[in-house]
Structure 1
Amino acid sequence: MQKAPTESTDAKDTPLFEAVFQRISNSEDLSIPFSDYMREILYHEEGGYYSRLDENRIGREGDFYTSVTVGETFGFLLAQQIVTEWSARFDKPESFVIVEQGAHDGTLALDVVRGIQEISPELFDSFLYRIIEPRKKHREWLEKRLSTEAGAEKIQIVPDVAGAKAPEGIFLCNELLDAFPFDCFEMQKGEWREKRVAIDQDRFAWKVGEANSDFENFIKRWQSEYPEGYTTEFCTELEPWMDEISTLFQKGLWWIIDYGYEGGDYYAPSRTTGTMRCYRRHQATEDPFKSPGEIDITAHVDFTRLGEVAEEHSLSVETFTDQHHFLIEASKPWLLGLEGQAPDARAAKRLRQFQTLTHPSIMGQQFKVMVLSKGG
């Protein structure tokens, strides 16, 4: 049995430290895949980064910004596009469901619901908004937080995909997939090696092991030769996630919004250090072992692979674009309604937020949107 890490480690005093240490100690080769480490650090019920409800992780006082924290305009524009699709594509069905996963504190849900109420009272009367939240404590916290908010009567919080299913609807997630656990790989002496997590001198550290054949076969499609020391990631969660999420609707749309690249860019030989990043208080670090449970760990999304996995699950890739073009298209009915008149204070505020969300050098090109469909 290895000696438990001492107080001198950078990871000291974090709730998950001993739990992860024990998992490594009990493993066959005293190491675990990085995806297992990441799953514990982010999602463990006691002390996982996304399981702690005592701190606001998003916004000015948190660890990172999102399109939602810019203001209510992001949700309003999604609502505008939902109304457009509900009318033109779905032909105004009597019942309609919006499903969100990765809802955090429910702000986007409220913004979308209130946007629909403003834009289309007809749709507002006939739709429901379901949030998938598997963690019981977080469901209870969300229910309490949303209970006094205007529009909360349209929101249901369910534990799984089965509880969110509907004949017709739209699924959306914003910055969900970048937090899916992934494994790490490095090119060493002409061979791919897996970077696993072990204990070295009382702290978490990398341990190199044999790469699995699935990754080796996958990456060959992009490039036959990579430079020494090249590192990258491979998400382990796409297939099981799509197994479930693709069954939500008989006829539907799936909007996946996140930062990422197409496969050729993701695995370009020039991207020598991969895309993994760690964040705390808006400060980036490349050390995923510092203060486990206190930092966010992310990687960009490989949208080429995402689209291929979706097609394997009988979904069609309709659109792959950036947030700039997606929101510009969604905003057309709203902007048309503003023509020929001076915007009031609320419209002026929305226009300022709209510029932030769509400007190519701010958020417009940073975030990508993949639209999947099923059922015509």
Structure 2
Amino acid sequence: MKKMSEQATELKANENGHVLDLIAGEIEEGNGFISFERFMELALYHPQLGYYTKNIKRVGKDADFITSVSVGKCYGLILAHHFSTILKTFSNFSKEVVVVELGAENGDLALDIMGELSMLLSKDLFGRLNYIIVEPFSFKRQALKARLSSERIGNISVISDLEKENNLYGVLIGNEVLDALPFRRVRLRDKKWMELGVGINRDGEKKKLIEAEKCIQNESLISRVADFPKELPDGFTAEVNINFKQLLSGISSSFVKLEGYFVDYGSSHDELMDLSRSEGTVRAYSGHQYVKNVLLSPGSNDITSNVDFDWFRASAKKHEFITNEPIDQYRFLTNAAEPWLLKIEKSGIQNVENMKLINQFKMLIHPTTMGRAFKVLKFQK
């Protein structure tokens, strides 16, 4: 199976065109149908026109959405405290240790984590640490390298493909990565699962993307829906990600010993199969506003769905990873932040910077903001 960047690049149209034209062209070549996965690849990851690859601001209060990283440096600081213990342990087995980050966006988390680790680790161990950012798109790699080189905090490298690395010992962090992986959609029709993809309606020069159904042909998708509950109402719709195995395979082949964390929106499989989720969980966002029709304005909106954590864990088990039940971000960060909070308490210093960090911490763990919305899934090798 080709990587996302390779798939999104295989286009015949002029790169200065609109992504809608590219999608429409592929639908016509595909006899009126492309998978929702392919739609996402083009809408989100086309090298020039995709939502995640365009040179636009996506994250922040004045953009489309906020993340734990964009709240402030507190998130990276807490992760650094948590990772420092793991790295010290792994340093007994290997001369070099790593922190690998997927989905780094503008590099804020790398700088926050490395800045804190430079103070938490011994000079010797910090010198043996390499922070590796995996970014498949060249434009974003160049931007990251330019920013990170100007900061000069430790050994930070930006690479295109994790599979080029091997014999790694260390930590992996993926913040809101799994929900951004292109996925398939399925819909139950007359007790038979159909693939729900994307078609097109034409009215003269006007083009409108619409939902389209066809018999499932992908073997991985056929295998997955065979395990779905039998008694669901007609029209029940769900998302299926068949790309987890490719992601996990690459991670497994690169690491000898690993403690990894994916932080994301997600649910158990039973929750996703509940009748209250009969329309699935796919959704789009723009300017912090929910966009009901995810097929509108491709390339301009973030598209996501709830991660099926049970399916991810089952996929991870096949690659010999040990996984933990996902826990609320509130619980994970509260436990991980304990050494840092005790340090502040013992110092007795209530300066402006500490109060700023404490306020960020409260937002990260608050149940109505991020504390319960995000889940943390730990996996080990």
- Shared fold, TM over 0.5: yes
On the 8 A contact 1:222/1:264 being kept in 2, the answer is: no
Q: Deviations over 1:165-222 (max 9, x none)?
A: 3431111110011011111122233332221211113211111212356545534545
Provide structure 1 residue ranges, at least 5 long, that are not aligned to the other structure.
1-12
1:43 equivalent to 2:45? Answer yes
TM-score (norm 1): 0.90
Aligned amino acid, residue 38 of structure 1? M
Question: In structure 2, how many angstroms separate the alpha carbons of the residues matched to 1:124 and 1:199?
Answer: 54
Aligned length: 359
Question: In structure 2, how many angstroms separate the alpha carbons of the residues matched to 1:186 and 1:45?
Answer: 30
1:258 equivalent to 2:291? Answer no
Question: In structure 1, how many angstroms separate the alpha carbons of the residues matched to 2:364 and 2:93?
Answer: 29
On the 8 A contact 2:220/2:242 being kept in 1, the answer is: no
Percent identity for Structure 1 against Structure 2: 31
The secondary structure found in structure 2 opposite 1:371 is strand
Q: 1:144 aligns with which of 138, 146, 151?
A: 146
User: Which residues in structure 2 correspond to 1:163-202 (within 5 Å)?
Assistant: 163-201=164-202, 202=207
Aligned amino acid, residue 192 of structure 1? W
Q: Deviations over 1:139-172 (max 9, x none)?
A: 1121112221251x42101111134434311111
Q: 1:23 aligns with which of 7, 19, 26?
A: 26
Q: CA deviation at 1:269?
A: 2.5
Question: In structure 2, how many angstroms separate the alpha carbons of the residues matched to 1:39 and 1:326?
Answer: 32
User: Which residues in structure 2 correspond to 1:306-345 (within 5 Å)?
Assistant: 306-340=312-346, 341-345=348-352
Q: Deviations over 1:243-280 (max 9, x none)?
A: 11222211111111111011111222221121111011
Compared CA separation, residues 92 and 353, structure 1 to 2 (3 A): farther
Provide structure 2 residue ranges, at least 5 long, that are not aligned to the other structure.
1-15
Residue equivalent to 1:296: 302
Aligned amino acid, residue 271 of structure 1? R
User: Which residues in structure 2 correspond to 1:280-295 (within 5 Å)?
Assistant: 280-295=286-301
1:56 equivalent to 2:62? Answer no
Question: In structure 2, how many angstroms separate the alpha carbons of the residues matched to 1:149 and 1:370?
Answer: 31
Q: 1:346 aligns with which of 338, 353, 356?
A: 353
The secondary structure found in structure 2 opposite 1:51 is coil
Aligned amino acid, residue 15 of structure 1? H
Aligned amino acid, residue 378 of structure 2? V
Q: CA deviation at 1:362?
A: 1.5
Compared CA separation, residues 95 and 364, structure 1 to 2 (3 A): same
1:372 equivalent to 2:379? Answer yes
1:274 equivalent to 2:280? Answer yes
Question: In structure 1, how many angstroms separate the alpha carbons of the residues matched to 2:330 and 2:193?
Answer: 37
On the 8 A contact 2:163/2:251 being kept in 1, the answer is: no
The secondary structure found in structure 2 opposite 1:364 is coil
Compared CA separation, residues 14 and 359, structure 1 to 2 (3 A): farther
